[in-house]
Structure 1
Amino acid sequence: MKITTAQLDAFSAVLDLGTATAAASVLNTSQPSITRAIKQLEDATGLLLFNRTKGRLVPTADARDLALVVEDNHQGMLRIQEAAKGIRRRRIGHLRIACLPAFAQGFIARALADFLPLNPQVSVFVRPLASTDIRDAVSKGLIDIGIAAYEVEAPGVRSTRFTECAEVAVLPQAHPLAERRELTPADLATQRIVRLAGGDPYRTRLDTLLSGCAGQAPALDGPVIEVETSAAACALAAEGVGIAVINPLTALDFVSSGLVLRRLTHTLPFITALVRPAQTGKAPLADAFATTLATRRDADLATAKGLCAAGA
Structure 2
Amino acid sequence: MTMRFRQIEVFHAVMTSGTVTKAAKSLRVSQPSVTSSIQQTEQEIGFPLFDRTGGRLTPTAEARILFEEVNRAHDSLVAIERLCGRLKEGAAGHIRVAATPAISQRVLPVAITRFQKQHKRFTFDISSEHSPVILSNLDERPMSYHMGFTFGQDDLDGIGSIKIADLPIYCALPVKWLERLPVKPKENKPLDLELLRDFPCVELYENEPLGQRARSLFLSAGVSPHNVVRVHDHHMAASLVHNEIGFAILDALAIHNLTRSEQNPGIATFPLENKPTLPVTAVFSQKRNLSYPMRYFVDCVVSAIKEVA
TM-score tier after normalising by the smaller chain length? 0.5 to 0.7
1:110 corresponding residue in structure 2: 110
Distance 2:217 2:61 in 1: 64
**Which residue of 2 is the match for residue 127 of structure 1?**
127
- From 216, 231, 234, the counterpart of 2:235: 231
Residue 87 (str. 1) matches residue 80 (str. 2)? yes
Once residues 30 and 104 of structure 2 are traced to their aligned partners in structure 1, the CA distance between those partners, rounded to angstroms, is: 51
Please give the TM-score of this superposition, normalised by the length of structure 1. 0.63
Task: Tell me which residue corresponds to 1:306.
Answer: none
Structure 1 residues 82 and 231, CA, compared in 2 at 3 Å: closer, same or farther?
A: closer
Q: Which residue matches 1:53?
A: none
Residues 161 and 281, structure 2, Cα contact 8 Å, conserved in 1: yes
Report the equivalent of 2:281.
273
Q: Following superposition of structure 1 onto structure 2, how do residues 240-259 of structure 1 map, counting pairs within 5 Å?
A: 240-256=244-260, 257=262, 258=265, 259=267
Within-5 A mapping of 1:67-86: 82-86=75-79
- Give the structure 1 partner of residue 100 of structure 2: 100
- Which letter does structure 2 place at the counterpart of 1:147? F
* Cα distance, 1:251–1:111 mapped onto 2, change above 3 Å: farther
Q: What does residue 165 of structure 1 align with? A: 167
Deviation at 1:194, TM superposition (A): 1.3
Q: In the alignment, which residue of structure 1 is the partner of 2:205?
A: 197
Summarize the Cα distance change of 1:174–1:72 in structure 2 as closer, same or farther, 3 Å threshold: closer
In structure 1, the residue matched to 2:155 is 153
1:79–1:133 CA distance, 2 compared to 1 (3 A): closer
Contact 1:137/1:143, CA 8 A, preserved across alignment: yes
Q: Structure 1 counterpart of 2:235, which letter? A: A
**Cα distance, 1:76 vs structure 2:** 9.1
**Which segments of 5 or more consecutive residues in structure 1 lack a partner in the other structure?**
10-15, 18-23, 29-33, 46-58, 302-312
Partner SS state of residue 301, structure 2:
helix
Distance 2:153 2:274 in 1: 22
Q: Percent identity?
A: 15
Secondary structure of the corresponding residue to residue 138 of structure 1: coil
Q: Which has the larger radius of gyration?
A: 1
* Cα distance in structure 2, aligned partners of 1:232 and 1:80: 34
The residue type paired with residue 104 of structure 2 is A
Q: Over residues 8-53 of structure 1, what are the superposed CA-to-partner deviations in whole Å (9 max), with x where a residue is unaligned? A: x9xxxxxx79xxxxxx96458xxxxx9xx9xxx8xx99xxxxxxxx
CA shift at 1:235, angstroms? Answer: 0.5
**Matches of 2:116 and 2:73 in 1, distance apart?**
29
Q: How far did 1:206 drift?
A: 2.6
- Alignment-derived partner of residue 181 in structure 1: 188
**Contact 1:100/1:129 (8 A) holds in 2:** yes
Distance in 2 between the 1:282 and 1:200 partners?
A: 26
8 Å contact kept, 2:203–2:227? no
Query: What CA distance in whole angstroms lies between the structure 2 residues aligned with 1:98 and 1:74?
Result: 26
